[in-house]
Structure 1
Amino acid sequence: MTSETANYDEPWKEALSEYFEAFLCFFFPEVHQLIDWTKIPESLEKELKRITASAKTKKRFADKLYKVWLLSG
């Protein structure tokens, strides 16, 4: 008997990508206020994969990495 593992992670990743600004506004309003939202956040997913691939531990907690610009420069 084979069982399929439910993929709960991907929908959350997709939602976070789509609603990144709203996510930060709701969960981290202090951080949201510091970001210059006239500049589009840059996804650094490939860079994150390179970093985690070379990590000594196989445990991963971060799935998303974004570059943002601050209002302070």
Structure 2
Amino acid sequence: EELRTHVATALGPIAKPQRILPVAELPKTRSGKIMRRLLRDVAENRKLGDVTTLTDSSVMELIQSKLPTAASED
């Protein structure tokens, strides 16, 4: 809740996240770019798109496995 409040104060209420899910690693391409599209897909319960460009595709499985428990904590 403290982090959500800080984001709302620093960036504005429109940027306040609904929930925060701490993960060990983010899905990144071989060039190091974060695949925000995949994070949105997971957050919105959509089928994942192409994950062949990820350096480690198991990261998405870890994020998906944590999501149901995070939703029940709200």
TM value normalised by structure 1: 0.28
Kindly indicate whether structure 1 or structure 2 has the higher relative contact order, using CA contacts under 8 Å at least 6 residues apart: 1
Structure whose residues are more often helix by fraction: 2
Structure whose residues are more often strand by fraction: 1
The higher radius of gyration belongs to 1
